[in-house]
Structure 1
Amino acid sequence: MKGTPARARRWLTAAGAVLALTAVAACGGGNGGGSGSGSADKADLTWQFWIGGTADQAAWQKVADQAHTDHSGITVKLQGTDWNNYWSKIGTLLASGKAPCIIGMQSLRLASYANAMLPLDDLMKKYGLKTEDFDKPIMDGLKSDGKQVAIPYDSGPMVIFYNKDEFKAAGVPDPKPGWTMADFEAAAKKLTTGGRTGLVTSPGDLGVASWVRTLTGAEPLADGKLNLTDSKFVDGFTTYANFVRTDKIAPQVPSGNSDFETTQFTSGKSAMQLNGPWSLIDTLGKVKFNLGIAPIPAGPDGSKTFTAGSGFGISRSCKSPDAAFQAIMSMTSEKPLTTLASAGRAYPARTAAHPAWFTAAKIPEAKEVIDYASQNSVPLITSKNWVQVNDLLTRFGTQALNGEIPPDQALKTIQDQAGAGS
């Protein structure tokens, strides 16, 4: 689910992109202007993606080059923009009908851009792409109105990262699949001592939604509409906010610091953090303690979490959709995804590339935990105004966690301000 590689993606806002797309109905229906040219087997294509720097550019260019390796007449030119600026730029391009053929797309933002992108179902059938070769939650997460809009390269259910050394020192057993909220709360309280906390939180959409889902089963949308004032969602969010405001097992959340949660955990100041597998190998390189992972603790109906991820789609303005789709098939094939997995840049969406990621992670329990979490995961389906929702959640959610306003008031404010546009 970045301005840096996928492993470090942040769920930040890009309100300009959504505003730019409000005028997009169907973007001309398919094959207007654009940066792709040629036939199904011969085309010069441009791919717009989020790039974190020179090393990132080189790594992703190798993914693009796979298309030319597989199809000698097809070339893919990578154009990079940092994560923070990517969404406003791609929104403007898609709305103008002049977007590049291949578009990087994140599942949480898909609803805002889907109208300007080409449904891929017919191309998938034509060229024999097998959906069963990919993790189902993220394939579903990259659909809009039942149509596949992007093919994923990475995915992952939200899981708990934890400090094994702190758990051992406190005499707390390592969490395993099946551990409960009672187990979690007991561990977090015991680990909160000496200026350190058992957990670190943030008001980010994916984290909040995952905790609420496991606590009460509630989801942020119902029948496609924002549902934050539903009593079950309010109950779940209140329990989550209480981790900070009353239970004191997590520190207060500073506003305007998107790196706080990760820094707090990697520095050893908090013993647990909810995160995605895309961040695991990067986190391994930052910590000075033994890192473990566990599923999100089970609520009344078991351990429930959300999956997010990213992939590649085709703009409706692309002149060579067949060539673009063949390029995407190459870019999401086993070889490049195995390379990305080995380098820690992505937890691959293609199941055949999973072993490379587990080998790179070097955490014995990783496969059991990720498999378990995936089985108990669904994609986080979002609304067309989700950028606004997440921006409001970051603002008012921070106040709720810090005890400045009641959790139910925070959710009502978000619902009132964003609900009409959901």
Structure 2
Amino acid sequence: MRATPARARRWLTAAGAVLTLTAVAACGGGNGGSSASGSADKADLTWQFWIGGTADQAAWQKVADQAHTDHSGITVKLQGTDWNNYWSKIGTLLASGKAPCIIGMQSLRLASYANAMLPLDDLMKKYGLKTEDFDKPIMDGLKSDGKQVAIPYDSGPMVIFYNKDLFKAAGVPDPKPGWTMDEFEAAAKKLTTGGRTGLVTSPGDLGVTSWVRTLTGAEPLADGKLNLTDQKFVDGFTTYANFVRTDKIAPQVPSGNGDFETTQFTSGKSAMQLNGPWSLIDTLGKVKFNLGIAPIPAGPDGSKTFTAGSGFGISRSCKTPDAAFQAIMSMTSEGPLTTLASAGRAYPARTAAHPAWFTAAKIPEAKEVIEYASQNSVPLVTSKNWVQVNDLLTRFGTQALNGEIPPDQALKTIQDQAGAGS
């Protein structure tokens, strides 16, 4: 499968912007959307974020408005674009030295943009932000070179979503924390019947790396460099690919269909899917069966998974970083995150807002499972060219899962094409 020209152009635009970020980082410049240079208590700030539509815009603007509620002299105006275009746009803005003050940032992409963003540790001490009030894995996931670059609003370890009705009909017990890979494979084989499969999967970065980590303990980076041809990673990826290509417990993966995995699960055609808690409440609204969640099954060293999430940081070009940080503290405070959790828009990174999400989820085992998975989770640390890595993983990983090329060949191709830039 070849990348479409449009997709390639988007990645090249983002990559080209990222290459200049290091140089811009030292330069500052730009007004950051602020009209009161140097003021800690008065500023008109702009916040750049990914937005899914009119309703999304309104919901997130309410988060921004919390800053004005807490600080009458501070206003935050939200500017948004869709997810697919956000990363090339924010790369260009950061590289230009004219980025807005407040920047939405995802943990998996942080490495590509961190040089153009302001370390927040001094501001955290100055204004008393307590790191212990947030989930540790995502606080660590939003660090670069040991420095905090963004404050998280959401988080979540990868977990298994499963169809309780199909499990019951097949006589398969509901999975519990501590269930093993052998138990998972036995369940998946029994559930693969009547045109349905036990599992649906695809070669996305979080899915692949989480399965590999629990299967063999391997991680995609070693000493900051891409490490996909390490034998433990190859072994884990081969077992994962075999779910589709030889074991037939998961369907083949169509190319160019980003919604396939979710559609396959929510329609009842597959009994299990690896997903993040940020998708749970949305999934509940789509399914017509009883939905359950379980930790990723345990490999030789136990259940191991990765955490990802997003948050808000400050561009180096911002002239009012104190005001921007106070705004971010308001935007990630208990009130807004509780509202987001209740509406199903995020599994909150702040622990005090967790109960609202568990109430909205309406799944009895959710608290036990998420807390167990979090305890067995670490942030997925990525390379500066992770956008390219994920693109290649999607392309060649699909071929490996579908049996078109050997899994080790797929990983070697990705390593050869992206490894030098990691």
Q: Which structure 1 residue ranges, 5 or more long, are not aligned? A: none
Q: Could you list the per-position Cα deviations for residues 158-196 of structure 1 after superposition, in whole angstroms to 9, with x for gaps in the alignment?
A: 000000000000000000001000000000000001111
**Equivalent-residue separation in structure 2 for 1:8 and 1:165 (angstroms):** 42
For the 8 Å contact 1:7–1:282, the answer to whether it is kept is no
**CA, structure 1 residues 187+201, in 2 after alignment: closer, same or farther (shift >3 Å)?**
same
**Equivalent-residue separation in structure 2 for 1:54 and 1:145 (angstroms):** 37
Shift of 1:35: 7.2
Shift of 1:28: 3.0
Q: Could you list the per-position Cα deviations for residues 182-226 of structure 1 after superposition, in whole angstroms to 9, with x for gaps in the alignment?
A: 000000000001111000011000000000000000000001000
For the 8 Å contact 1:45–1:324, the answer to whether it is kept is yes
**Equivalent-residue separation in structure 2 for 1:32 and 1:269 (angstroms):** 48
Q: Could you list the per-position Cα deviations for residues 38-88 of structure 1 after superposition, in whole angstroms to 9, with x for gaps in the alignment?
A: 510000000000000010000000000000000000000000111010000
Shift of 1:33: 8.4
**Equivalent-residue separation in structure 1 for 2:210 and 2:5 (angstroms):** 22
SS at match of 2:47: strand
For the 8 Å contact 2:253–2:398, the answer to whether it is kept is yes
For the 8 Å contact 1:4–1:52, the answer to whether it is kept is no
Q: Which residue of 2 aligns with 1:293?
A: 293
**Equivalent-residue separation in structure 1 for 2:371 and 2:13 (angstroms):** 30
**CA, structure 1 residues 229+35, in 2 after alignment: closer, same or farther (shift >3 Å)?**
farther
Shift of 1:9: 21
**Equivalent-residue separation in structure 2 for 1:255 and 1:13 (angstroms):** 23
**CA, structure 1 residues 88+206, in 2 after alignment: closer, same or farther (shift >3 Å)?**
same
Q: Which residue of 1 aligns with 2:138?
A: 138
For the 8 Å contact 1:37–1:45, the answer to whether it is kept is no
For the 8 Å contact 1:35–1:318, the answer to whether it is kept is no
For the 8 Å contact 1:110–1:144, the answer to whether it is kept is yes
Which structure 2 residues correspond to residues 222-237 of structure 1 after superposition, within 5 A? 222-237=222-237
Q: Could you list the per-position Cα deviations for residues 300-328 of structure 1 after superposition, in whole angstroms to 9, with x for gaps in the alignment?
A: 00000000000000000000000000000
**Equivalent-residue separation in structure 2 for 1:194 and 1:151 (angstroms):** 47
**Equivalent-residue separation in structure 2 for 1:398 and 1:234 (angstroms):** 15
Q: Which residue of 1 aligns with 2:413?
A: 413
Identity %: 96
Which structure 2 residues correspond to residues 330-345 of structure 1 after superposition, within 5 A? 330-345=330-345
Q: Which residue of 1 aligns with 2:80?
A: 80
SS at match of 1:378: strand
**Equivalent-residue separation in structure 2 for 1:131 and 1:185 (angstroms):** 39
SS at match of 2:357: helix
**Equivalent-residue separation in structure 1 for 2:255 and 2:173 (angstroms):** 33
**Equivalent-residue separation in structure 1 for 2:154 and 2:333 (angstroms):** 12
Q: Which structure 2 residue ranges, 5 or more long, are not aligned? A: none
Shift of 1:3: 20
**CA, structure 1 residues 34+386, in 2 after alignment: closer, same or farther (shift >3 Å)?**
farther
Shift of 1:21: 3.9
TM-score, with length taken from structure 1:
0.95
**Equivalent-residue separation in structure 1 for 2:419 and 2:9 (angstroms):** 26
SS at match of 1:113: helix
For the 8 Å contact 1:229–1:408, the answer to whether it is kept is yes
**CA, structure 1 residues 9+73, in 2 after alignment: closer, same or farther (shift >3 Å)?**
farther
**CA, structure 1 residues 357+336, in 2 after alignment: closer, same or farther (shift >3 Å)?**
same
**CA, structure 1 residues 303+228, in 2 after alignment: closer, same or farther (shift >3 Å)?**
same
Q: Could you list the per-position Cα deviations for residues 2-25 of structure 1 after superposition, in whole angstroms to 9, with x for gaps in the alignment?
A: 999999999999546545647545
SS at match of 2:79: strand
**Equivalent-residue separation in structure 1 for 2:6 and 2:165 (angstroms):** 27
SS at match of 2:69: helix
**Equivalent-residue separation in structure 1 for 2:73 and 2:264 (angstroms):** 49
1:324 aligns with 2:320: no
Q: Which residue of 2 aligns with 1:100?
A: 100
Q: Could you list the per-position Cα deviations for residues 85-137 of structure 1 after superposition, in whole angstroms to 9, with x for gaps in the alignment?
A: 00000000000000000000000000000000000000000000000000000
**Equivalent-residue separation in structure 2 for 1:8 and 1:262 (angstroms):** 25
Which structure 2 residues correspond to residues 4-403 of structure 1 after superposition, within 5 A? 15=15, 17-19=17-19, 21=21, 24-28=24-28, 37=37, 39-403=39-403
**CA, structure 1 residues 64+350, in 2 after alignment: closer, same or farther (shift >3 Å)?**
same
For the 8 Å contact 1:36–1:45, the answer to whether it is kept is no
**Equivalent-residue separation in structure 1 for 2:160 and 2:13 (angstroms):** 24
For the 8 Å contact 1:34–1:97, the answer to whether it is kept is no
RMSD: 3.9
**Equivalent-residue separation in structure 1 for 2:4 and 2:280 (angstroms):** 14
**Equivalent-residue separation in structure 2 for 1:34 and 1:44 (angstroms):** 5
For the 8 Å contact 2:106–2:311, the answer to whether it is kept is yes
SS at match of 2:25: coil
For the 8 Å contact 2:278–2:345, the answer to whether it is kept is yes
Q: Could you list the per-position Cα deviations for residues 248-291 of structure 1 after superposition, in whole angstroms to 9, with x for gaps in the alignment?
A: 00000011111110000000000000000000000000000000
Shift of 1:26: 3.3
**CA, structure 1 residues 9+125, in 2 after alignment: closer, same or farther (shift >3 Å)?**
farther
**CA, structure 1 residues 358+11, in 2 after alignment: closer, same or farther (shift >3 Å)?**
farther
**CA, structure 1 residues 356+276, in 2 after alignment: closer, same or farther (shift >3 Å)?**
same
Q: Could you list the per-position Cα deviations for residues 357-397 of structure 1 after superposition, in whole angstroms to 9, with x for gaps in the alignment?
A: 00000000000000000000000000001011001000000
For the 8 Å contact 2:35–2:43, the answer to whether it is kept is no
Shift of 1:240: 0.2
**CA, structure 1 residues 249+137, in 2 after alignment: closer, same or farther (shift >3 Å)?**
same
**CA, structure 1 residues 62+2, in 2 after alignment: closer, same or farther (shift >3 Å)?**
farther
For the 8 Å contact 1:7–1:280, the answer to whether it is kept is no
**CA, structure 1 residues 90+4, in 2 after alignment: closer, same or farther (shift >3 Å)?**
farther
For the 8 Å contact 1:111–1:383, the answer to whether it is kept is yes
**CA, structure 1 residues 20+34, in 2 after alignment: closer, same or farther (shift >3 Å)?**
farther
**CA, structure 1 residues 89+34, in 2 after alignment: closer, same or farther (shift >3 Å)?**
farther
For the 8 Å contact 1:12–1:391, the answer to whether it is kept is no
**CA, structure 1 residues 143+88, in 2 after alignment: closer, same or farther (shift >3 Å)?**
same
139-148 vs 14-23, which moves further: 14-23
For the 8 Å contact 1:27–1:115, the answer to whether it is kept is no
